[in-house]
Chain A
Amino acid sequence: MSKEVSEEGKTHHGKDYVDPPPAPLLDMGELKSWSFYRALIAEFIATLLFLYVTVATVIGHKKQTGPCDGVGLLGIAWAFGGMIFVLVYCTAGISGGHINPAVTFGLFLARKVSLVRALGYMIAQCLGAICGVGFVKAFMKTPYNTLGGGANTVADGYSKGTALGAEIIGTFVLVYTVFSATDPKRSARDSHIPVLAPLPIGFAVFMVHLATIPITGTGINPARSFGAAVIYNNEKAWDDQWIFWVGPFLGALAAAAYHQYILRASAIKALGSFRSNATN
């Protein structure tokens, strides 16, 4: 996939991209920079807006009385995927546009963000989610309480194992797409249009919702599930809550390992063997 880069008439097999150095595991210096706090605010606001729009869409759909009224499940899936597209687009340059603890966790495992930043982001995302769902409840309290509160639970007829599997694979699809969209190889080729990276990420969220809304209501974002569980505060939502943390974190772990050690072959590079060429 690497391009040969030509320099002053000489063609050599150099890479046309640079792998950034791994983020330090614990970077206390970040705590002194305004950009870190600005990024936390951006994650908080983005997750707030994400939960507000999407949960309001869910409640609005359920509020319709006729079977063919409302936006339908397709509209709900569009709300989730479309909001991720818009918000990743808006926040990518500020915070990286995670809006999801599973994405943050995957990027942390791949040494793209430090532990301090990862924890800060996850807290901001969860608080933003709580506030976002809180706004929905504040604006439409009765429908919110009577129509499920946008909370994630395992649907009747599905086992916890099925739900966990759905969350793992769904999050794998999302985090794999995030890694592909932010790969420095791709950035080198698509450097004139980084604006488009959020599009496949939004589409990934859309697709996974189409597939898994009937099973779990689709989590793939622990902050989204946590925010709705906190505000709705229903026993069933809390009983199933672990699925919406364990599943996404396992999916993110698998995606990080797949991208870093198979597609980007970090392990093989470290061994210095079995490579197709020196630039791969």
Chain B
Amino acid sequence: MAKDVEGPDGFQTRDYEDPPPTPFFDAEELTKWSLYRAVIAEFVATLLFLYVTVLTVIGYKIQSDTKAGGVDCGGVGILGIAWAFGGMIFILVYCTAGISGGHINPAVTFGLFLARKVSLIRAVLYMVAQCLGAICGVGFVKAFQSSHYVNYGGGANFLADGYNTGTGLAAEIIGTFVLVYTVFSATDPKRNARDSHVPVLAPLPIGFAVFMVHLATIPITGTGINPARSFGAAVIFNKSKPWDDHWIFWVGPFIGATIAAFYHQFVLRASGSKSLGSFRSAANV
């Protein structure tokens, strides 16, 4: 994928620069306004994400419930729900990318932490902000329509009837792998060097990845791939079934993010091979 660029001495050099790994523990960040601004941005973005998406889910269930005056084919349908999740990720990543990196998902934050793109302090604060934002977002939905919220499942993630735990876990692992792999690809410094005139486009494939995964896994788990989303809904809905299955929506996404980080860093970008100084296709990969 690397381009050959003539250096000043006529040798081949790279047209991109890998940023240095983020320090594992960067206490100095705590003195910077930009960290707190980023944490606020993650909180607000996750709040808006959960508010709009869970509201869409509840609205769809109301309008398609024939026993309560709804109609067949009422509401936005599963396709509309998938669009709500994917589209919100697109616009929120677009809005927050320059402020916080636009994670809006603890699994994404965890994957980027493993790849040394964010420090431990930033990762932990982001995850806390995301979870609190998710709770508040779902809280708003419940506050605005309490009876509908309780009657129609609260937007909570749990295993659908007919699927076992292994299936649900695998769906979450693979779904999160797709998402986090897309995030790594969209934020790759190689790609940025090539697409430097279109950084606005990075959120689009990320949003589409979320959309596609929802199309595939809504029937299985309601689609988690975002522990904050699952946690916020579980906290506010607070029923035993979502809590019983809740571990799936943390373990699955974190495993998926780990695999994606490993795949991107050590296979596609061959960090391991580079450090060994061997087995590279070219000196400038």
A residues bordering B, Cβ < 8 Å? 1, 67-68, 72-74, 77, 157-158, 161-162, 165-166, 169, 172-173, 176-177, 180-181, 183, 185-186, 189-193, 196-197, 199-200, 203-204, 206-208, 210-215, 258, 262-263, 265, 268, 274-277, 280
Contact = CB atoms under 8 A, between A and B. Distances in A.
Interface range on chain B (Cβ under 8 Å from partner): 35 or more
Interface in B75-128: 75-77, 79-80, 83-84, 87-88, 90-91, 94-96, 98-99
A177 B49 CA distance: 13
Nearest to A165: B144
B63 A189 contact: no
A207 B91 contact: yes
Nearest to A69: B73
Contacts of B83: 74, 77, 206-207, 210
Contacts of A263: 37, 41, 99
Given A68-B72, A73-B75, A173 B94 contact: no
B87 A203 contact: yes
6 contacts: A1-B98, A74-B79, A158-B145, A211-B52, A276-B33, A277-B34
Majority DSSP secondary structure for residues of A touching B: helix
B276 interface: no
Contacts of B77: 72-74
Given A212-B55, A263-B41, A263-B99, A196 B198 contact: yes
A4 B36 CA distance: 22
A206 B87 contact: yes
B33 A215 contact: no
Contacts of B41: 262-263
A210 B80 contact: yes
Contacts of B145: 158, 162, 215
Given A77-B76, A177-B94, A185-B98, A274 B33 contact: yes
Interface string B29-63: 00011110100110010001001110110010011
Contacts of A72: 73, 76-77, 80
B195 to A, nearest CB: 10
Given A158-B145, A192-B198, A263-B41, A210 B140 contact: no
B80 A77 contact: yes
A197 B75 CA distance: 29
Interface in B193-217: 197-201, 203-204, 207
Given A169-B51, A207-B87, 17 more contacts: A1-B99, A72-B73, A73-B80, A74-B77, A74-B80, A190-B200, A196-B198, A200-B94, A206-B87, A208-B52, A210-B56, A213-B76, A214-B59, A215-B55, A268-B33, A276-B32, A276-B34
A214 B60 CA distance: 8
B264 interface: no
Contacts of A196: 198, 200-201
B52 A207 contact: yes
Contacts of B200: 186, 190, 193, 196-197
B33 A275 contact: yes
Contacts of A77: 76, 80, 83
A189 to B, nearest CB: 5
Contact of B197 (A68, A193, A199, A207): A193
B71 interface: yes
A265 B94 contact: no
Nearest to A207: B87
A104 B200 CA distance: 24
Contacts of B143: 165
Given A166-B144, A196-B198, A207 B80 contact: no
Nearest to A274: B33
A112 B189 CA distance: 34
B73 A204 contact: no
Contacts of B44: 258
B65 to A, nearest CB: 12
Nearest to B199: A189
Contacts of B191: none
A191 B196 CA distance: 10
Contacts of A208: 52
Given A166-B144, A200-B91, A74 B76 contact: yes
Given A176-B95, A200-B95, A214 B62 contact: yes
Nearest to B148: A157
List the 6 closest A-B pairs by CB distance, nearest first. A276-B34, A214-B59, A68-B73, A276-B32, A180-B95, A192-B197
B68 to A, nearest CB: 9
Given A180-B95, A186-B200, A193-B198, A67 B71 contact: yes
B219 interface: no
